[in-house]
Amino acid sequence: MSETYGFYAMLDRMQYINRWGLMRNNRVENIKEHSFDVAVIAHALAVIHNNMAGEGDVTVDPYKVQAFALYHDCTEIITGDLPTPIKYRNEEIKAAYKEVEREAASRLASLLPSDMRDEYLVLLEPSFISDPTPESDLTLRLVKAADRISAYIKCMSEEASGNREFESAMETIRSTIDNIKLPEVDYFMEKFIPSYGFTLDQLNSREE
C-alpha cells in the first residue's frame, strides 16, 4: 500500500475549533470559516493597495496575500484558539506561545510529502521566512489587518442580533484597525464595511 498523508484531512478539522471561547455567541464561528473571511478581505486589501500604489511603492501579489491569510490560523488545529487576553497578556506569554505555534506548524508540515513541506511551513508560520523583504512584511501586515477586520465584522453581526456581549470588543478592535495606518484599510472600512449591516433586499437593490 502506498504512503498516505494527513495534512489536508487535518485542515478539514478546523471546522471543529470555535473562536471567541470566552464570549456568549448568538452564532458560533469556527476557524475554518473565519480563515475564508480573512482570505477574502486580505486579497481585497492587496488589490486596493496595488491600485493606490505610486511609482516606486512596494506592491504585493494578491494571491500570495490570500494564501497567507487562508493558512494564518491553521496551527490552532493543534494549539486550540487561545483567548486574546491570555495570548497577549505579557511578553513572556507571547514569546512562549509563538514557540508553541512554530512547533505546531512543524508538526502540520510533517504531514506532507517532504518536497512540499518548505512551501507550506512559511504559510503556517511566517516566522520561518528566512529572508524577509518589504513585500513579505507588507503581506503579513495586510493579513493582520484583514484578521482584525474580520473580527470587527463578527462583532457587528453579534451586536445586530441583540448580543451586547461584543460591545467592548467591537470598540477595542475598531481602535486597533484605526491605528493600523494603512490607506487601503481605511478605504475598505469606509467603502465596504457599512454594507455588512444591510438586509438582503438592500444589498440586491444597491446600484452605482
Residue 3 near residue 138, CB atoms below 8 Å? no
Could you give the CA distance from residue 158 to residue 156 in angstroms, rounded to a whole number?
Answer: 6
Could you give the CA distance from residue 141 to residue 182 in angstroms, rounded to a whole number?
Answer: 9
Q: In the chain, what are the domains?
A: 7-198 (1.10.3210.10)
Q: Tell me: the pLDDT tens digits for 100-130?
A: 899 999 999 999 999 999 999 999 999 999 8
Residues of the chain with confidence (pLDDT) below 70: 1, 81-89, 206-208
Could you give the CA distance from residue 22 to residue 104 in angstroms, rounded to a whole number?
Answer: 23
Strand partners, 30: 18
What's the whole-model pTM score? 0.91
Please report the sign of the dihedral spanned by the C-alpha atoms of residue 192, residue 138, residue 79, residue 115: positive
Q: What's the length of the chain?
A: 208
Q: What per-residue confidence (pLDDT) applies to 83?
A: 62
